Amino acid sequence: MKKIAVMTSGGDAPGMNAAIRAVVRYAVNNDIKVVGIKRGYAGLLDEDFVEMEFASVGGIMEKGGTILRSSRCPEFVRKETRAEAAKILAKHGIEGLIVIGGEGSLHGAMFLEEEQKIPVVGIPGTIDNDIAFTDMSIGVDTCLNTVVDAIQKLKDTASSHERAFIVEVMGRSSGYIAAVSGLVTGAEAIVIPEIPVNYEALGNKILKERERGKINCIVVVAEGAASAYTVARHLEHRIGYETRITILGHIQRGGSPTAFDRLLASRMGVTAVEYLKRGISYVMTALQGGKIVPVKLDEVLKQKKTLNMELVELTALLS
Amino acid sequence: MKKIAVMTSGGDAPGMNAAIRAVVRYAVNNDIKVVGIKRGYAGLLDEDFVEMEFASVGGIMEKGGTILRSSRCPEFVRKETRAEAAKILAKHGIEGLIVIGGEGSLHGAMFLEEEQKIPVVGIPGTIDNDIAFTDMSIGVDTCLNTVVDAIQKLKDTASSHERAFIVEVMGRSSGYIAAVSGLVTGAEAIVIPEIPVNYEALGNKILKERERGKINCIVVVAEGAASAYTVARHLEHRIGYETRITILGHIQRGGSPTAFDRLLASRMGVTAVEYLKRGISYVMTALQGGKIVPVKLDEVLKQKKTLNMELVELTALLS
Amino acid sequence: MKKIAVMTSGGDAPGMNAAIRAVVRYAVNNDIKVVGIKRGYAGLLDEDFVEMEFASVGGIMEKGGTILRSSRCPEFVRKETRAEAAKILAKHGIEGLIVIGGEGSLHGAMFLEEEQKIPVVGIPGTIDNDIAFTDMSIGVDTCLNTVVDAIQKLKDTASSHERAFIVEVMGRSSGYIAAVSGLVTGAEAIVIPEIPVNYEALGNKILKERERGKINCIVVVAEGAASAYTVARHLEHRIGYETRITILGHIQRGGSPTAFDRLLASRMGVTAVEYLKRGISYVMTALQGGKIVPVKLDEVLKQKKTLNMELVELTALLS
Amino acid sequence: MKKIAVMTSGGDAPGMNAAIRAVVRYAVNNDIKVVGIKRGYAGLLDEDFVEMEFASVGGIMEKGGTILRSSRCPEFVRKETRAEAAKILAKHGIEGLIVIGGEGSLHGAMFLEEEQKIPVVGIPGTIDNDIAFTDMSIGVDTCLNTVVDAIQKLKDTASSHERAFIVEVMGRSSGYIAAVSGLVTGAEAIVIPEIPVNYEALGNKILKERERGKINCIVVVAEGAASAYTVARHLEHRIGYETRITILGHIQRGGSPTAFDRLLASRMGVTAVEYLKRGISYVMTALQGGKIVPVKLDEVLKQKKTLNMELVELTALLS
């Protein structure tokens, strides 16, 4: 392997830069040239390439976002588009591709190898923690801490009976962020896509908490389960609570990555290059029990990651 | 003066606890007893009182919110209610009252002295910075840093053409938080109550920024000027931008107070007690040119604080 | 099991409060009474006990330190002292004990069960990450983020040739904190107890980095390997660098715990109670591959946790 | 005025980048060209210049340190060196110079105008807050918050009788940082250059606090008054306390600037350009009572800023 490429794709996540840095520096230390592809698959098709040296990635580890930028590229679902991409990679002498991103991005990578025989390694990078076979994806830990910090500030503010704070967090198909942030901030309730919302039960729970003497009332809602406004309307209607709404939005994708995300990203970046070097491809780097292991891309992508329901039970037990 | 009372009232603000601590400790050091009134004017009417010693306020300075809690008390607009309050204060031998809060709370205090002859000193505490004659109110600096931190995270996240991030911040009648946070984060535009929104001009400004090569687009909106959703709809409709929304909500009221707010609150708390001790009342402690000075309550409350338009111009010039 | 006790012992670590909260609330939900023992083994001997209810642990999860306080208790090495402790526990009807702390604290717990037949469960809480058989101890993740945040600030400050910043961090026998924080901040070198310091090699490495064009020079030193002053003297003497020293000290033990530490502590707290309830004791709750599992206390304590040398190599490869 | 230059000099301070950004953008908006001088006076002598456009300063406001870097330049005390500097400025057609830095840096600027007739405007940038006639210098507010955050973490950690935490902070000739951070964290004592240390009184004060029931003991020491080690030795010797030491060092110069520092720096940067444009020079931009005003450089530099002793008294009264 003389030359590889690296890209970030899909929604960005804190720690992607640390992964890029590790890919570039480990490759350079192994005499492998690295091309940075800007803006994901869209940039690949546009040949928006940049040569990356050891010094190109200095001072980026601590930065949120991705220096290579990212984008969605709907046309990459078409086989002809992918064939085009493969030609471009071949033209530039690129013998392997590392894709850092979420499920959609890994799908693109999988097809590039299946159809076009480009050796690919995927690195899971998404704040949603919805990728199967890896305990954590890059960005999840930072996102969690951002959400926890925000909810903690809500807990400071003047509590009063008959008022509820509704916090809408990311998670289209996964309630991981809502469940864990709710658990570790002692939120009174969570609303997640994995469990159909029962507004009657939700209202009753809040009334019961109040009877127990609690004056705080925080409900964490995953965007994929309901909108904060819908939850607010139900609470106002059913139990007569005033509500206050916080929608964190994309601040959850930003921020300097935590130590955990930097370490995970550094290890995955190094491992991805090592895999390509040893001829291992069509895999994702996965964190399993503290170790980075390869998992076949088709297995990753046909499995839906399920939420550990123990987390949800813990919230109910401890708050 | 042998015995005074202190309360926090209205929307809470970071630093209120530091003010309570300073009031209590400075009074105790001057052999003045302090009664803490819980839940503002509502707690006054309920005689929800607590005796405060030097040690009662240990370890509270760094906490957001207010240990005395706060509330709104609509019935306090009635003169009979205030007469009732005065009787309660007299019954408890309370010779002076310190009220920490925003405009509404200071109004209540003003009438207590005008009508009921209770010596009062107000301390401006509100994140909106909408109280006249004081350069800053307690809580503004912390709130600003919370907003700046959030917007900074947005700037990390993948920028792309034709996408705008709309951030809704506090400020019902004042655009101070939006104007300053927009200025110091380099936001592309701000929408504030002081200036009628011109959506056409806003759209054009964003398109012009894009032509100049900018790919970030952040618009900071004060809640009193428009809702983030309204701004988003206009931008989507007029210039075809996708939008992403963040509504910070009450996280702006929380968080451990900054050094500035702790210092301001400590100085104002000490000064408020000093005023009562010297027989100065019917005033608010105001920060003017680095000094704490007394300003008559009626003057404070008949004057609307205006936003320094230089701040708005700076944003336009520098971003 | 009708009644158990919980204590924190030894050096404190962020997240201990979250563990206490989980122990108390899970026990109460299972109709088990909980006694909080203040100041570790010293408080046990003094019968410094407090009954804990569901509400006693409200709002503590986010706080650094430990509400039960902690202490060292050298006399607990004597068997007679431990017999005394067992009598006290029996007198209070305490049927099981949960000890949250580091190696020394777990030793005490082990002997209490071996000799005195008190069922004990240990929870690993120490920022040093030096307890065997658990991937992480409570407090490590928060400590790492505190250190990373500090080093990151150093990287901001004016860099210049021929100047080195030496940062001394915790770790008497383990270089974990130094190694990981050095790795994820791109420090130029680390000095850890696991590897004898070679000042000549250290000086040469720094000179080589400089030749490569780097102007930053940060050396992270674990307190157990050398003092920052010693390292500074050597660098000044050998390569003529000016040095600037930062000693983080006990700020590494403080701070609101991260999401990771809160989650780990919550899970371990719940599991510890569950073990006692099921008759499992003489174990420590250990994090292995994402799961909480029981490991016998004698095994934990006869094994020295070794540092994963891959981390050290990564630092050398990537910085 | 067609072309000006800007430099940062001496010890760096958070917010310097915001000042550079404001200088550049306001100048460009006024059709004035801006040259960035790297590494302060040393870079001026080396003609280490860079042309700065509107876009050159994008995304720098939030960064600690200074993109222009900084340095000390001892040879600038010589008149011949300054004559040389003036020739270089003339050669490049630079008609005015903005110097961002502390006292030493402003001295250089003053002589450049007095002797060499280069119009200069100084901007006070130093974390020490030791520049006369300005309420605050750029960087002070950020530094204070960094120190407060660190001390707050110390307060979390297990308190015990007969132990003191000594925190050494910056301040060679000014105790401002120590005094304010001590005040707003409730430190038990401060040691500052303005007041000769009396170790006997210090020991007695701590013993008295302990008698009052306090178990925390934090002493904040300005580096210019004593070293943390000296204070520790005295406390151990006189009152038998164990001590734990934290030396914050240069982390106090780093970190993303606070809202206050960004705003102050933006206003001063704009004003400095405005002064040059209007023919006002030989001045420093000073913050007085919320306004930016010009103060003659010779006045600034012959006056020593004195610490407001009210701050010191407040600490004694409130802690």
Query: Is A285 part of a structural domain of the chain?
Result: yes
Q: Do residue C16 and residue C151 come from a single domain?
A: no
- Checking if the pLDDT of B67 tops 70, the result is yes
Contact B244 A249 (CB under 8 A): yes
- Residue-wise DSSP of chain C: --EEEEEEESS--TTHHHHHHHHHHHHHHTT-EEEEETTHHHHHHTT-EEEE-GGGGTT-TT-SS-TT-----GGGGSHHHHHHHHHHHHHTT--EEEEEE-HHHHHHHHHHHHHH---EEEEEB-TT---TT-S--BTHHHHHHHHHHHHHHHHHSPP-TTEEEEEEE--SS--HHHHHHHHHHT-SEEE-TTS---HHHHHHHHHHHHHTT----EEEEETTT--HHHHHHHHHHHH--EEEEEE-GGGGG-SPPPHHHHHHHHHHHHHHHHHHHTT--SEEEEEETTEEEEEEHHHHHHSPPPP-HHHHHHHHHH-
ipTM value for the complex = 0.96
Mean residue pLDDT across chain C: 95
Catalytic residue among C12, C46, C48, C128: C128
- Backbone φ, ψ for residue B251 (5° rounding): -65, -20
Residue ending a domain, among C230, C253, C276, is: C253
- Backbone φ, ψ for residue C111 (5° rounding): -65, -35
- Rounded to whole angstroms, the Cα distance separating C217 from D127 reads 22
Chain B residues within an 8 Å CB radius of D152: 62, 256
Q: Do residue C29 and residue C122 come from a single domain?
A: yes
In a structure prediction context, what are the per-residue pLDDT tens digits for chain D, which is 319 residues long? 999 999 999 999 999 999 999 999 999 999 999 999 999 999 999 999 999 999 999 999 999 999 999 988 999 999 999 999 999 999 999 999 999 999 999 999 999 999 999 999 999 999 999 999 999 999 999 999 999 999 999 998 866 668 899 999 999 999 999 999 999 999 999 999 999 999 999 999 999 988 888 888 999 999 999 999 999 999 999 999 999 999 999 999 999 999 999 999 999 999 999 999 999 999 999 999 899 999 999 999 999 999 999 999 998 889 8
Confidence label for C40 from pLDDT (cuts 50, 70 and 90): very high
Q: Angle CA(B238)–CA(B240)–CA(B242) in degrees, nearest 5?
A: 125
* Residue A5 near residue A86 (C-beta atoms within 8 A): no
**By CA distance, what is A139's nearest residue in B?**
B157
Chain D residues within an 8 Å CB radius of C254: 152-157
Confidence label for B88 from pLDDT (cuts 50, 70 and 90): very high
* Residue B96 near residue B4 (C-beta atoms within 8 A): yes
What would the mean pLDDT of A180-208 be, rounded to a whole number?
95
Mean residue pLDDT across chain A: 95
Catalytic residue among B31, B46, B128, B130: B128
Q: Which member of B66, B154, B244 has the closest CB to residue A158?
A: B66
Confidence label for C265 from pLDDT (cuts 50, 70 and 90): very high
Higher pLDDT, C159 or A5: A5
Query: Is A311 part of a structural domain of the chain?
Result: no
Q: Do residue B288 and residue B146 come from a single domain?
A: no
Q: Do residue C191 and residue C233 come from a single domain?
A: yes
pLDDT at D319: 85
Q: Do residue C245 and residue C268 come from a single domain?
A: no
- Checking if the pLDDT of B299 tops 80, the result is yes
Q: Do residue B205 and residue B279 come from a single domain?
A: no
Contact B69 A158 (CB under 8 A): yes
Chain B residues within an 8 Å CB radius of A251: 150-151, 153-154, 246
* Low-confidence winner among A109-118, B150-159, C90-99, C188-197 (lowest mean pLDDT): B150-159
- Checking if the pLDDT of A160 tops 70, the result is no
Q: Do residue B119 and residue B262 come from a single domain?
A: yes
Confidence label for A88 from pLDDT (cuts 50, 70 and 90): very high
State the first-to-last Cα distance of chain C, in angstroms, to the nearest integer: 53
Q: Angle CA(A10)–CA(A12)–CA(A14) in degrees, nearest 5?
A: 155
Mode of pairing for the β-strands spanning A33-37 and A49-52: antiparallel
Q: Which member of C155, C214, C259 has the closest CB to residue A145?
A: C259
**By CA distance, what is A15's nearest residue in C?**
C184
* Residue D16 near residue D8 (C-beta atoms within 8 A): yes
- Rounded to whole angstroms, the Cα distance separating C122 from B253 reads 39
What would the mean pLDDT of C9-33 be, rounded to a whole number?
97
Q: Strand, coil or helix: what is B207?
A: helix
Contact A290 C180 (CB under 8 A): no
Q: What is the pLDDT of residues C129-184, one digit of tens each?
A: 999 999 999 999 999 999 999 999 999 886 666 889 999 999 999 999 999 999 99
Domain CATH number, residue D290? 3.40.50.450
Query: Is B319 part of a structural domain of the chain?
Result: no
Which conformational region is residue B279 in: left (phi greater than 0), alpha (psi within -120 to 50 degrees), or beta? left
Q: Do residue B67 and residue B25 come from a single domain?
A: yes
Mode of pairing for the β-strands spanning D49-52 and C242-247: unpaired
pLDDT at B72: 84
- Rounded to whole angstroms, the Cα distance separating A299 from C67 reads 47
- Rounded to whole angstroms, the Cα distance separating B65 from B254 reads 6
**Residue span of the structural domain in which A23 resides:** 3-139+257-302
What percent of chain A shows pLDDT beyond 70? 99
Q: What is the pLDDT of residues B31-52, one digit of tens each?
A: 999 999 999 999 999 999 999 9
Q: Do residue D107 and residue D179 come from a single domain?
A: no
**CA B282 vs CA A43, B242, B290: distances in Å:** 67, 52, 22
- Rounded to whole angstroms, the Cα distance separating D174 from D131 reads 10
Query: Is D315 part of a structural domain of the chain?
Result: no
Mean residue pLDDT across chain B: 95
- The residue type at D225: A
Higher pLDDT, B80 or D216: B80
Q: Do residue C127 and residue C168 come from a single domain?
A: no
* Residue C169 near residue C221 (C-beta atoms within 8 A): yes
C128 noted as active-site residue: yes
What would the mean pLDDT of A51-58 be, rounded to a whole number?
95
Q: What is the pLDDT of residues B150-184, one digit of tens each?
A: 999 999 886 666 889 999 999 999 999 999 999 99
Query: Is D22 part of a structural domain of the chain?
Result: yes
Mode of pairing for the β-strands spanning D120-124 and D96-101: parallel
Chain C residues within an 8 Å CB radius of A186: 58-59, 61
Residue (of C304, C295, C248, C311) closest to C130 by Cα position: C304
D233 is in an annotated binding site: no
pLDDT at D3: 98
- The residue type at D51: E
Query: Is B318 part of a structural domain of the chain?
Result: no
Q: Strand order in A96-101's β-sheet?
A: A49-52, A33-37, A3-9, A96-101, A120-124, A283-288, A291-296
Contact D145 B259 (CB under 8 A): yes
State the first-to-last Cα distance of chain B, in angstroms, to the nearest integer: 53
Q: What is the pLDDT of residues C271-304, one digit of tens each?
A: 999 999 999 999 999 999 899 999 999 999 999 9
Chain B: closest CA distance from residue D152 (Å): 8
- Rounded to whole angstroms, the Cα distance separating B70 from B81 reads 18
Tokens 């107890």 -> residue:
C193
Q: What is the pLDDT of residues A274-300, one digit of tens each?
A: 999 999 999 999 999 899 999 999 999
Residue ending a domain, among B253, B271, B290, is: B253
Chain C: closest CA distance from residue A280 (Å): 20
- Checking if the pLDDT of C239 tops 90, the result is yes
- Rounded to whole angstroms, the Cα distance separating C120 from A98 reads 49
Catalytic residue among A12, A46, A48, A128: A128
Q: Do residue D103 and residue D160 come from a single domain?
A: no
What percent of chain B shows pLDDT beyond 90? 92
What would the mean pLDDT of B290-317 be, rounded to a whole number?
94
pLDDT at D68: 96
Measured torsion, CA atoms of residues C175, C178, C179, C180, in degrees rounded to the nearest 10: 120
- Rounded to whole angstroms, the Cα distance separating B140 from B176 reads 9
Tokens 């002692």 -> residue:
A186
What would the mean pLDDT of C77-103 be, rounded to a whole number?
97
Residue D43 neighbours by CB under 8 Å, 6+ apart: D7, D37, D49, D68, D69, D71
Q: Strand, coil or helix: what is B166?
A: strand
Catalytic residue among D128, D130, D141, D261: D128
Handedness of CA B17, B20, B24, B29 (dihedral sign): positive
Confidence label for B122 from pLDDT (cuts 50, 70 and 90): very high
Number of domains in chain D: 2
Q: Do residue C186 and residue C269 come from a single domain?
A: no
Query: Is A24 part of a structural domain of the chain?
Result: yes
* Residue A66 near residue A259 (C-beta atoms within 8 A): no
- Residue-wise DSSP of A55-88: GGGTT-TT-SS-TT-----GGGGSHHHHHHHHHH
What would the mean pLDDT of C56-67 be, rounded to a whole number?
94
Domain CATH number, residue A218? 3.40.50.460
pLDDT at B160: 67
From the annotation, which residues of A make up the binding site for substrate?
A: 126-128, 163, 170-172, 223, 244, 250-253
Query: Is C163 part of a structural domain of the chain?
Result: yes
